[in-house]
């Protein structure tokens, strides 16, 4: 909203300094600073409120070191993250841009799902404590898993449908003669498309904005993939149903990454630190893909209006880092599902928007491995129980971070090493801009 206010002051009163809000880099910096301020200053007040309302973590009784010390630590701290993301975005971003609206919806949607889950768990815990029940009985209630999945699928459908059908979601392609390059059929260029001309090295180039479901393939020279190819083999006319395949893939990605972040949130500072590193990497992708000069230099697709998304990403990274002020070991607050579900969904949505979803297994390697460790553990346990009559385990405990805890590693060491792994994977993902 400040974006609109200062633009109005600039146009009507020529207010000195108001023109700064026209620069994306200035608004990104302001979003980062404000998100850090909200998370660190107002975060403490929210923690105090959660403590007074006895919204705390109880002993998990998993046989892990440090469990007793965490008793009573406030949870639902994801509220801090959500506030630190949404307020700077609303103040500094152009809310008319489809990508900004989509990310605000994603944040609020998954935040509500996580909030409901945490609220139901806390209410059930208080009722169980009043009856003197064990911790296991205290935590049997919460939002049903199927309900959370339905909510995530619903969001995935909205994101996929918006990105596929909205006319403001385009990429820019160079026209060579009467055709153009890179996976776009001639029929995509019509007389209604606006031709954009730019001069480079004394040569005038023509570009056109087109709608097409393409993404980036890492480490490949011809580094783009059109989702139409997944269905065109069926026969003529099949490509008109590409939207079905695209929405299914988007829904799967949003659900998987959201749950991956949720599973990863098991140690002090782990999920927040990993998410901050991933967000910074996606921010670089968004910046270079939203700037036609960098896109031309790196020979990557230019996505119009994407630069505005950098403001949201700046707020996201600032919120995660600010939350670490209180969530780093020993944690003064836990994010709960209110934060973890939203973090994963935001990362997935951002990756899809910047058309880097095929890089998710690389820069989200920690989320992926944590997810796989649970799947492998449960699957192998059930298999061996059927075959041998007793369940056997691959890991000492899942998710994977608990396995290392069982081996005697301190949780702060595990968290920092997972951060380092994430930083390396993000750097590798950025390198794919040049290595093909």
Mean predicted confidence (pLDDT) in 128-155:
74
Res 301: pLDDT: 85
* Same domain assignment for residues 319 and 331: yes
Task: pLDDT band for 429, please (50, 70, 90 cuts).
Answer: very high
Residue where one domain finishes, among candidates 304, 332, 358: 358
Please state the domain count of the chain.
Answer: 2
Res 233: pLDDT: 83
* Same domain assignment for residues 263 and 115: yes
Average pLDDT over the chain, rounded to an integer: 86
- Partners of 179 in beta bridges: 176
Task: Classify residue 56: in a domain, yes or no.
Answer: yes
Res 132: pLDDT: 66
* Same domain assignment for residues 106 and 182: no
Task: pLDDT band for 65, please (50, 70, 90 cuts).
Answer: low
Task: Tell me what percent of the residues of the chain surpass a pLDDT of 90.
Answer: 55
Judge contact between 73 and 107, C-beta under 8 A: no
Phi, psi of 204 (to 5 degrees): -85, 125
Task: Classify residue 115: in a domain, yes or no.
Answer: yes
Give me the half-sphere count of Cα atoms (radius 13 Å) on the Cβ side of residue 132.
Answer: 0
Task: Classify residue 427: in a domain, yes or no.
Answer: no
Q: How far apart are CA 235 and CA 228, in angstroms?
A: 12
Burial class (CB in 10 A: 0-12, 13-18, 19+), 272: buried
Res 391: pLDDT: 87
* Same domain assignment for residues 329 and 307: yes
Q: What dihedral angle (degrees, nearest 10) is formed by the CA atoms of 347, 353, 359, 361?
A: 40
- Between 95-104, 277-286, 296-305, 333-342, the lowest mean confidence (pLDDT) is in 296-305
Mean predicted confidence (pLDDT) in 153-169:
94
Residue with more model confidence, 105 or 216: 105
Res 57: pLDDT: 59
Give the highest mean pLDDT range of 7-11, 130-134, 298-302: 298-302
* Same domain assignment for residues 155 and 178: no
Q: How far apart are CA 49 and CA 214, in angstroms?
A: 46
Task: Classify residue 412: in a domain, yes or no.
Answer: no
Judge contact between 47 and 333, C-beta under 8 A: yes
* Same domain assignment for residues 123 and 96: yes
**79: how many CB neighbours lie within 10 A of its CB?**
22
Task: Classify residue 220: in a domain, yes or no.
Answer: no
Q: How far apart are CA 416 and CA 396, in angstroms?
A: 21
Res 186: pLDDT: 47
| pTM exceeds 0.95 | no
Res 232: pLDDT: 83
Res 370: pLDDT: 95
Dihedral over Cα of 101, 282, 307, 31: its sign:
positive
Residue where one domain finishes, among candidates 311, 326, 358: 358
Mean predicted confidence (pLDDT) in 253-278:
94
Give the pair of three-digit tokens for residue 152.
């995530």
pLDDT at 7 over 50: yes
For residue 202, is it left (φ>0), alpha (ψ between -120 and 50) or beta?
left
* Same domain assignment for residues 148 and 182: no
* Same domain assignment for residues 199 and 336: no
pLDDT at 161 over 50: yes
Angle, to 10 degrees, between the axis of helix 78-92 and the axis of helix 336-353?
Answer: 40
Residue where one domain finishes, among candidates 358, 385, 409: 358
pLDDT at 433 over 70: yes
* Same domain assignment for residues 194 and 79: no
Give the pair of three-digit tokens for residue 421.
């792994």
Res 61: pLDDT: 55
Residue with more model confidence, 175 or 347: 347
Task: pLDDT band for 189, please (50, 70, 90 cuts).
Answer: very low
pLDDT tens digit sequence for 167-188 = 889 888 777 655 444 444 444 4
Judge contact between 370 and 264, C-beta under 8 A: yes
Task: pLDDT band for 190, please (50, 70, 90 cuts).
Answer: very low
**Structural domain that includes position 315:** 28-168+242-358
Res 80: pLDDT: 96
Task: Classify residue 341: in a domain, yes or no.
Answer: yes
- Between 54-63, 65-74, 287-296, the lowest mean confidence (pLDDT) is in 54-63
Residue with more model confidence, 22 or 198: 22
pLDDT tens digit sequence for 195-213 = 677 666 666 777 788 888 8
* Same domain assignment for residues 58 and 161: yes
Task: Classify residue 392: in a domain, yes or no.
Answer: no
Res 145: pLDDT: 82
pLDDT tens digit sequence for 286-333 = 999 988 888 888 888 889 889 889 999 999 999 999 999 999 998 999
* Same domain assignment for residues 196 and 269: no
Residue with more model confidence, 72 or 296: 296
Res 253: pLDDT: 96
Residue with more model confidence, 247 or 187: 247
* Same domain assignment for residues 256 and 200: no
Task: Tell me what percent of the residues of the chain surpass a pLDDT of 70.
Answer: 86
- How many Å separate Cα 313 from the centre of its chain? 9
Task: Classify residue 407: in a domain, yes or no.
Answer: no
Mean predicted confidence (pLDDT) in 373-381:
94
Tell me the CA distances in angstroms from 185 to 70, 163, 178, 190, 229, one per residue in order: 59, 19, 11, 11, 12
């Amino acid at each position: 909203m400040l974006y609109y206010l200062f633009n109005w002051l600039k146009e009507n009163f020529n207010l000195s300094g108001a023109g700064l809000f026209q620069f994306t880099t200035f608004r990104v910096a302001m979003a980062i600073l404000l998100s850090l301020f909200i998370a660190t200053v107002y975060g403490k007040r929210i923690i105090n409120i959660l403590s007074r309302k006895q919204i705390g973590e109880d002993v998990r009784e998993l046989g892990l070191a440090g469990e007793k010390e965490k008793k009573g630590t406030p949870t639902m701290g994801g509220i801090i993250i959500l506030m630190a993301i949404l307020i700077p975005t609303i103040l500094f971003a152009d809310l008319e841009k489809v990508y900004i609206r989509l990310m605000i919806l994603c944040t609020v949607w998954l935040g509500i799902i996580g909030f409901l889950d945490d609220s139901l768990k806390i209410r059930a815990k208080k009722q169980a404590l009043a009856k003197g029940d064990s911790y296991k009985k205290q935590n049997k209630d919460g939002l049903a898993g199927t309900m959370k999945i339905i909510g995530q699928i619903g969001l995935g459908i909205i994101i996929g449908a918006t990105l596929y059908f909205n006319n403001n979601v385009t990429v820019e392609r160079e026209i060579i003669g009467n055709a153009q390059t890179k996976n776009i059929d001639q029929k995509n260029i019509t007389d209604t498309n606006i031709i954009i001309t730019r001069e480079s090295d004394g040569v005038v180039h023509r570009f056109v904005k087109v709608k097409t479901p393409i993404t980036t393939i890492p480490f490949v020279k011809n580094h783009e993939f059109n989702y139409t190819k997944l269905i065109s083999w069926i026969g003529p006319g099949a490509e008109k149903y590409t939207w079905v395949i695209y929405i299914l893939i988007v829904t799967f990605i949003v659900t998987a990454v959201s749950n991956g972040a949720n599973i990863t949130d098991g140690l002090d500072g782990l999920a927040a630190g990993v998410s901050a590193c991933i967000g910074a990497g996606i921010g670089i992708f968004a910046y270079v893909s939203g700037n036609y000069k960098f896109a031309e230099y790196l020979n990557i697709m230019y996505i119009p209006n994407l630069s505005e998304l950098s403001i949201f990403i700046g707020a996201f990274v600032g919120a995660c880092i600010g939350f670490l002020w209180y969530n780093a070991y020993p944690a003064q607050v836990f994010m709960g599902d209110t934060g973890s579900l939203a973090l994963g969904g935001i990362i997935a949505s951002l990756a899809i928007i910047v058309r880097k979803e095929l890089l998710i297994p690389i820069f989200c390697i920690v989320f992926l491995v944590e997810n796989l460790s649970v799947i492998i553990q449960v699957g192998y346990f059930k298999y061996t129980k059927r075959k041998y009559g007793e369940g056997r385990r691959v890991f000492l405990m899942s998710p994977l971070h608990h396995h290392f805890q069982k081996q005697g590693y301190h949780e702060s060491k595990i968290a920092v090493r997972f951060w380092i792994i994430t930083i390396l994977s993000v750097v590798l993902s950025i390198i794919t801009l040049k290595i093909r």
